[in-house]
A = this chain, B = another copy of it.
Amino acid sequence: MNSTFNNLGDEKKDTILNAAIEEFSRHSYKSASTNRIVKNAGIGKGMLFYYFKSKKNLYLYLVDIAFNDFMENLVDFLDKSEKDLFNRIFQWNIYKIKMFIKEPQKFNFLMKISAEESPEVKNEIKRKYSLMSEKAYELLLKNIDLSNFRKDIDTEKAVNIIFWFFDSYVNKTINKLREGIHDIGHFENDTLKEFNEYLEILSRLMTDA
Contacts and interface: CB of A to CB of B under 8 A. Distances in A.
A158 B28 contact: no
Interface in A156-177: 157-158, 160-161, 164-165, 167-169, 172
A8 interface: no
Main secondary structure on A side of the interface with B = helix
A157 B197 contact: yes
B30 A201 contact: no
Contacts of A172: 164
Contacts of A165: 161, 164-165, 168
A163 B118 CA distance: 31
B115 A115 contact: yes
Interface string A5-30: 00000000000000000000011101
A136 to B, nearest CB: 15
Nearest to A117: B26
Given A31-B31, A164-B165, A205-B206, 5 more contacts: A26-B117, A27-B30, A27-B117, A158-B201, A167-B168
5 contacts: A27-B118, A28-B28, A154-B201, A158-B201, A164-B172
Q: Give the size category of A's interface with B.
A: 20 to 34
Contacts of A198: 157, 160-161
Contacts of A205: 153, 205-206
A20 to B, nearest CB: 17
A202 interface: yes
Nearest to A119: B26
Interface in A96-111: none
A26 B31 CA distance: 13
A137 B160 CA distance: 24
Contacts of A201: 153-154, 157-158, 161
Nearest to A167: B168
B161 A202 contact: yes
Nearest to A165: B165
A202 B126 CA distance: 32
